[in-house]
Amino acid sequence: MEQINNYIETHKDRFIDELVELLKIPSISADTAFSQDVLETAKMVEKSLADAGCDKTQICETKGYPVVYGEKIIDPNLPTVLVYGHYDVQPPDPMNLWDSPPFEPIIKETELHPHGAIFARGACDDKGQFFMHVKAVEFMIQNNTLPCNVKFMIEGEEEVGSDSLADFLMENQELLENDIILISDTGIIGNDVPSITTGLRGLSYVEVEVTGPNRDLHSGIYGGAVPNPINVLSKMIASLHDENNHITIPGFYDKVEILSEAERSEMAKAPFDLTEYKEALDIDDVYGETGYSTSERYSIRPTLDVNGIWGGYTGEGAKTVIASKAFAKISMRLVPHQDWNEITELFTKHFLSIAPKGVKVKVTPHHGGQGYVTPIDSVGYKAASLAMEKTFGKKPVPQRTGGSIPIVALFEEVLKSKTILLGFGLDSDAIHSPNEHFGVWNFLKGIETIPYFYKYYTELAK
Amino acid sequence: MEQINNYIETHKDRFIDELVELLKIPSISADTAFSQDVLETAKMVEKSLADAGCDKTQICETKGYPVVYGEKIIDPNLPTVLVYGHYDVQPPDPMNLWDSPPFEPIIKETELHPHGAIFARGACDDKGQFFMHVKAVEFMIQNNTLPCNVKFMIEGEEEVGSDSLADFLMENQELLENDIILISDTGIIGNDVPSITTGLRGLSYVEVEVTGPNRDLHSGIYGGAVPNPINVLSKMIASLHDENNHITIPGFYDKVEILSEAERSEMAKAPFDLTEYKEALDIDDVYGETGYSTSERYSIRPTLDVNGIWGGYTGEGAKTVIASKAFAKISMRLVPHQDWNEITELFTKHFLSIAPKGVKVKVTPHHGGQGYVTPIDSVGYKAASLAMEKTFGKKPVPQRTGGSIPIVALFEEVLKSKTILLGFGLDSDAIHSPNEHFGVWNFLKGIETIPYFYKYYTELAK
C-alpha cells in the first residue's frame, strides 16, 4: 500500500487532466437540453473504468439516464466493495456569478486550497469525488494490491432524484451483491480536521403553483380586487413557519428522532466557530429554529426551505401586472424516522388546506429520499476511520450533516448493505453554487486514503 | 361633422393598415435591447402627424426617449386642445401565452368584438388609442371642419414612468399652452355602456432586494441554519397586509380620501355584475380589503400588489439551493390626497424596519405618480359627454377607475389644464397581458367621436 504515494506523485498530472476532460461535459440531468451531454459523460465514465483495469464494464440502460457499471472480481470468497457515485451535475445557474465558465475547468489557488483547486460544475459534486475511486482502484489493480473485489455503480440522475436507480437496484440485486457500499459525495470538516459523515437528512422536494385570475391583469384596473397569486403564495409560504421558526405542517414533527441531552452535549463538542461561520457567509446573524444551536439546526433537525420562487414580471424596469400564476420550489430536509413519502403527503394536504378562496393550488412532488445513520461500531466505519487516521495523521470525527443522499436508505433496504460516506470535499467548495471547486490536495488525499480503506476493511471483515 | 361617417367608411382599411404598421415595431421602453425600435416608432409617429395635416411636427429630444410634437393652429383666438398619448408599449412577457406573436398584428373576431379586434402588444395601450386622434384630426383638417387649434404630445416613456416628460413640460410651457388636454388611454364599461373616466389612482412602484448569505448555498448543508432570503422575503411581503387585507405600512392610510356613504351608494349604482366578473377571470372568489365592494377596492381604495417575484432556482427540475438573494417588484395604487413620494418613503422605511437580523434589504423606487379626479361639471367633461352621447346614442357614465396615468396630475400642476380621459378600450382587451387587442369597432368609434368633442368643446368654451 505504501507505493500509493509514489504512484500519485508520478501520475497526478494525468489524474487531473483526466478529471478536467470529464468536467468539460455539461452533464446537467435537470435540463433535457443537455441529455446528449449526459449520455456522452456516461460513455466517458465507462471508458475510465475499463482503463483503470476493470474486467467488465457496462452502460446499463434505464428508463432515464444510464447507470455505468464496472467490476474487478479477484476472488469470490473475498469481500466486495460497491462504489457508488454520480456523473450528472447540478445546473450552473446563476451563470453571471461564475468567475470562469462552469464547464471550462481551471485550477486556481485559494486561501483554503494553497495547492490549487479545480473550478468547474461537478468538480466536487460528484465527478471529482467518484473519480478518486477510479484512480485509487487503478493504482491497486496496476500494482496488484487490490485486496478484495470491487464494483462500481455510477449513476446519472442523482441531482434529479435518482428516479431510475430504485428499479435498477431491484433488477440487478445479484450483479450488485456486496459487503459494503462506499461513497464519496460528502465532505470533511477541514483539511486538518478529518471527519466521516455518519448521518444524512432525508429529503422531500415539491413544486407548488398558485393560480389566481386566468390571465395576467393590469394591476391598476384589477389591483386590490382579485387574488394576486404572488401575494397569496408569499402568505402561504410565510405561514409554513411560526414565530419560533417551527414548521407548522400538522404532524410534521411526529416521528422526529429526539436526541437525549447527553447526545446533544456530545455533539456540541465538535469544533464549530459561530463567528467564523457568520463571517464566511457575510451574515450578521444566523436564523433558525428556537431552542437549537446552528449545528443542530442543519443536522439533527428537519427544515423547510424555498429553493426557488417566480411569478409576474421579472425583467428590467417596471410592469404593472397582476400575474395569473406564481410558483415555488420547496424542499424539506428530514431526520431519521421521518418518512419522505409521508412528509410529502402531509405537506401537500396542508398546503392545499391553507389556500384562500379565489386561487387554485397545485402541488407536484419532485423527488425525495429517506435519512440515514451509519453505526460507528460497524466494520466499515472502523476501516474508514483507520484509513483516514493513516493518511491524515489524526483520527476522524464522526459527523452528522444536513445534506441528503436519498439513495443510501434504499441501498440498505434493497441491497442489505451498510454505506460508508467517505467524502473529501469542504463545505466551502460551493457545490450547487457558482464557482464550485475541489481542492487538488483533497482530490489526491482521497486517492491516497481509499486503498487503505480496502486494506483495513478486508482485514477486519475476515 | 356628419361627413365623418362617410370619411371612415371610405378610409377605414387604410386607417387599420397604418395602425398595423405602427404595431409591428416592438417599442418596449422597459428593455434597452429595444431602444432602436422605440426611436424608430417616434419617427413613424411624427410622419403620421405630418401626413394628417399638422403644420409643424418635431421629434423633441429628452434625456430619455423623445416626445413627438405636432400642431395645427388655425386661429390663436380659438381654444387649443392638447392631445397626449404614448407610443411605447409594455414588455410582451410571458411570450408563451400569446396565441399569435405580439408584434405581428392580426385581426380576429371575438365574442365581445364581432367586427374583429386587432391583436398586438400596444393595440389598445396606447398606439391604437392615440392613433384614433391622429385620424380624427386628419379628417377635420382634410374636410376643413377643425373648429379649434390642436397640438399633439406623444411620448415614449409612459410604461416606465414618464421620467423625461416632467422636464419636457417645464421647458416647453409656451409651446404646450392649451385649454384642455385630451387623452385616450382608458376604457369604456362596454360597447353599449359608454363611460368617461373621472378618477385615476396614483402609483408608487418599488423594487426590493433581500440578501442573505453572500453566495448560493447547498440547502442540505445550510438549510435551517441561515436566513433564506426567499423565505424571509415571503414573510415580509405577507406581513404587508393584515387579516382584513388592510395594508400595514404605518401612515399609509393617513391621507386617504374618505367618501361619504351617499357618494358610495351613488357609485354603487354603476352596472357591475360580480358573477360575470368572477366568471371572466375564472376565480371562485374575489379577494380584497374587508368592508369594501369589488368596484370600490379597485377605484376608491389604495392597494398593494406584488407585480413580480424571483429568486433561487427557477429552471426545470429540482435544485437544492439556498439563494443568496431574492427580489420583488411591488406597486401601490394610491387615491386622491395620497402623495406618491411620501408613500414611497413610508414603504421604504417600513420595509427596512421589518427586515429580520441576518439579511440585508434594499428598496429601489422605480417611478410613481399622483392620482387625479376630473370634475364632471367642467366644460371639457360636458363636451366629452355630449360627443359620446352623439355617437353611442346614450349618455356616458362617469367612472373612477383603478389605473394610473401618473402624468395627468403633473399636467395640471405645470400646464394648468384639466384633462379629459376619453378612452375607447374594454377591460377585457388584455392590456399589459398576453393577447392584448383593440376592437376594430372601438377604434373606428373613437375616430367618429373625437371630432364631436372638438365641436362641442369649441362651442361650450366660447
* Measured distance CA(B316)–CA(B327) in Å, rounded: 20
Instruction: Name which residue leads in pLDDT, B343 or B367.
Output: B343
Query: Across the interface, do B31 and A317 touch by the CB < 8 Å criterion?
Result: yes
Question: At the top level of CATH, which class does the domain B4-200+371-461 belong to?
Answer: alpha beta
Task: Please answer whether residues A226 and A321 qualify as being in contact, where contact means their C-beta atoms are separated by less than 8 angstroms.
Answer: no
Query: Across the interface, do B223 and A317 touch by the CB < 8 Å criterion?
Result: no
- B390: closest CA of chain A, how far (Å): 27
Which of A187, A122, A376 has the alpha carbon at shortest distance from A267?
A376
User: Looking at the complex, does the CB of residue A365 fall below 8 Å from at least one CB of chain B?
Assistant: no
User: Looking at the complex, does the CB of residue B314 fall below 8 Å from at least one CB of chain A?
Assistant: yes
A303 → closest Cβ in B160, B224, B298: B224
Query: Across the interface, do A432 and B159 touch by the CB < 8 Å criterion?
Result: no
Q: Is B396 exposed, middle or buried (0-12, 13-18, 19+ CB in 10 A)?
A: buried
Specify the pLDDT at position B336.
82
Percentage of chain B with pLDDT > 70? Answer: 99
Interface of A with B in 438-457 (CB under 8 A): none
Task: Please answer whether residues B304 and B247 qualify as being in contact, where contact means their C-beta atoms are separated by less than 8 angstroms.
Answer: yes
- A334: closest CA of chain B, how far (Å): 10
Query: Across the interface, do B301 and A224 touch by the CB < 8 Å criterion?
Result: yes
3-class secondary structure per residue, chain A: CCCHHHHHHHHHHHHHHHHHHHHCCCCECCCHHHHHHHHHHHHHHHHHHHHHCCCEEEEECCCCCCEEEEEECCCCCCCEEEEEEECCECCCCCHHHCCCCCCCCEEECCCCCCCCEEECCCCCCCHHHHHHHHHHHHHHHHCCCCCCEEEEEEECCHHHCCCCHHHHHHHCCCCCCCCEEEECCCECCECCECEEEEEECEEEEEEEEEECCCCCEEHHHHCCCCCCHHHHHHHHHHCCECCCCCECCCCCCCCCCCCCHHHHHHHCCCCCCHHHHHHHHCCCCCCCCCCCCHHHHCCCCCEEEEEEEEEECCCCCCCCEECCEEEEEEEEEECCCCCHHHHHHHHHHHHHHCCCCCCEEEEEEEEEECCEECCCCCHHHHHHHHHHHHHHCCCCEEEECCCCCCHHHHHHHHHCCCEEECCCECHHHCCCCCCCEEEHHHHHHHHHHHHHHHHHHHHHCC
Residues of chain B contacting residue A322, judged by C-beta atoms under 8 Å apart: 305, 307
Question: At the top level of CATH, which class does the domain B202-256+302-369 belong to?
Answer: alpha beta
Average pLDDT over chain A reads: 94
Percentage of chain B with pLDDT > 90? Answer: 80
Residue A343 phi/psi, 5-degree rounding, is -65, -40
Best mutation target, A433, A435, A437, to test chain B (most B CBs within 10 A): A433
At B441-462, the pLDDT tens digits run 999 999 999 999 999 999 999 8
* Measured distance CA(B254)–CA(A125) in Å, rounded: 55
Which of A449, A454, A434 has the alpha carbon at shortest distance from A96?
A434
* Measured distance CA(B437)–CA(B424) in Å, rounded: 12
Query: Across the interface, do A213 and B281 touch by the CB < 8 Å criterion?
Result: yes
- Overall average pLDDT of the B328-353 stretch: 95
* Measured distance CA(A97)–CA(A40) in Å, rounded: 27
- Overall average pLDDT of the B374-399 stretch: 92
* Measured distance CA(A76)–CA(A178) in Å, rounded: 11
Best mutation target, B96, B158, B219, to test chain A (most A CBs within 10 A): B219
Percentage of chain A with pLDDT > 90? Answer: 80
Interface of A with B in 117-136 (CB under 8 A): none
Residue A417 phi/psi, 5-degree rounding, is -120, 155
How many CB atoms sit inside 10 A of residue B243's CB?
Answer: 6
User: Looking at the complex, does the CB of residue B414 fall below 8 Å from at least one CB of chain A?
Assistant: no
Q: Is B260 exposed, middle or buried (0-12, 13-18, 19+ CB in 10 A)?
A: exposed
User: Looking at the complex, does the CB of residue A377 fall below 8 Å from at least one CB of chain B?
Assistant: no
- Overall average pLDDT of the B317-326 stretch: 90
Query: Across the interface, do A225 and B91 touch by the CB < 8 Å criterion?
Result: no
Instruction: Give B231's pLDDT tier (boundaries 50, 70, 90).
Output: very high
> How is residue B110 annotated by DSSP?
-
Residues of chain A contacting residue B213, judged by C-beta atoms under 8 Å apart: 281-283
CATH of domain A203-257+300-369: 3.30.70.360
Q: Is B244 exposed, middle or buried (0-12, 13-18, 19+ CB in 10 A)?
A: exposed
Task: Please answer whether residues A24 and A115 qualify as being in contact, where contact means their C-beta atoms are separated by less than 8 angstroms.
Answer: no
Instruction: Give B377's pLDDT tier (boundaries 50, 70, 90).
Output: confident
Query: Across the interface, do B433 and A327 touch by the CB < 8 Å criterion?
Result: no
Cα atoms in the 13 Å half-sphere on the side-chain side of B53: 19
Task: Please answer whether residues A305 and B321 qualify as being in contact, where contact means their C-beta atoms are separated by less than 8 angstroms.
Answer: no
Average pLDDT over chain B reads: 94
Task: Please answer whether residues A44 and A127 qualify as being in contact, where contact means their C-beta atoms are separated by less than 8 angstroms.
Answer: no
- B192: closest CA of chain A, how far (Å): 20
ipTM of the complex: 0.71
Interface of B with A in 322-351 (CB under 8 A): 322-323, 326-329, 331, 333
Residues of chain B contacting residue A401, judged by C-beta atoms under 8 Å apart: 220-221
At A210-258, the pLDDT tens digits run 999 999 998 878 889 999 999 999 999 999 999 999 999 999 999 998 8
Residue with cell 466486495: A80
Interface of B with A in 191-220 (CB under 8 A): 201, 203, 205, 207, 212-220
Residue of chain B nearest A366, judged by CA positions: B318
Residue of chain B nearest A300, judged by CA positions: B224
Query: Across the interface, do B321 and A432 touch by the CB < 8 Å criterion?
Result: yes
Start-to-end CA distance of chain A, whole Å, equals: 19
H helix intervals, B252-339: 261-267, 274-281, 294-297
Cα atoms in the 13 Å half-sphere on the side-chain side of A211: 10
H helix intervals, B85-173: 127-142, 165-171
Query: Across the interface, do B93 and A313 touch by the CB < 8 Å criterion?
Result: yes
User: Number of Cβ pairs closer than 8 Å across A and B?
Assistant: 381
Beta bridge pairs of residue A119: A106, A437
Task: Please answer whether residues B201 and B333 qualify as being in contact, where contact means their C-beta atoms are separated by less than 8 angstroms.
Answer: yes
Instruction: Give B103's pLDDT tier (boundaries 50, 70, 90).
Output: very high
* Measured distance CA(B95)–CA(A269) in Å, rounded: 55
At B14-38, the pLDDT tens digits run 999 999 999 999 999 999 999 999 9
Residue of chain A nearest B293, judged by CA positions: A225
| Cell numbers at A169, concatenated | 437496484
Rounded to the nearest 10 degrees, how much is the dihedral formed by the CA atoms of B137, B138, B141, B147? -20
Query: Across the interface, do A309 and B309 touch by the CB < 8 Å criterion?
Result: yes
* Topology of the domain comprising A4-200+371-460: Aminopeptidase (3.40.630)
Query: Across the interface, do A216 and B367 touch by the CB < 8 Å criterion?
Result: no
Residues 6+ away with beta carbon under 8 Å from B371? B199, B200, B201, B202, B334, B335, B336, B337, B338, B404, B409
Interface of B with A in 160-179 (CB under 8 A): 160-161
Specify the pLDDT at position B370.
83
- Overall average pLDDT of the B304-315 stretch: 96
Beta bridge pairs of residue B242: none
Instruction: Give B403's pLDDT tier (boundaries 50, 70, 90).
Output: low
Task: Please answer whether residues A178 and A415 qualify as being in contact, where contact means their C-beta atoms are separated by less than 8 angstroms.
Answer: yes
Q: Across B163-313, where does the E strand assignment appear?
A: 180-183, 195-200, 202-211, 217-218, 303-312
Query: Across the interface, do B239 and A237 touch by the CB < 8 Å criterion?
Result: no
Best mutation target, A222, A241, A243, to test chain B (most B CBs within 10 A): A222
A306 → closest Cβ in B230, B288, B307: B230
Task: Please answer whether residues A203 and A451 qualify as being in contact, where contact means their C-beta atoms are separated by less than 8 angstroms.
Answer: no
Residues of chain A with pLDDT under 70: 402-404, 406
A316 → closest Cβ in B31, B226, B320: B31
Residues of chain A contacting residue B225, judged by C-beta atoms under 8 Å apart: 286-288, 294-295, 297-298, 402
A307 → closest Cβ in B161, B219, B333: B219
| Cell numbers at A317, concatenated | 424596469
B220 → closest Cβ in A91, A319, A333: A333
Domain ranges of chain A: 4-200+371-460, 203-257+300-369
> How is residue B190 annotated by DSSP?
B
User: Looking at the complex, does the CB of residue A2 fall below 8 Å from at least one CB of chain B?
Assistant: no
Which of A110, A129, A272 has the alpha carbon at shortest distance from A193?
A272
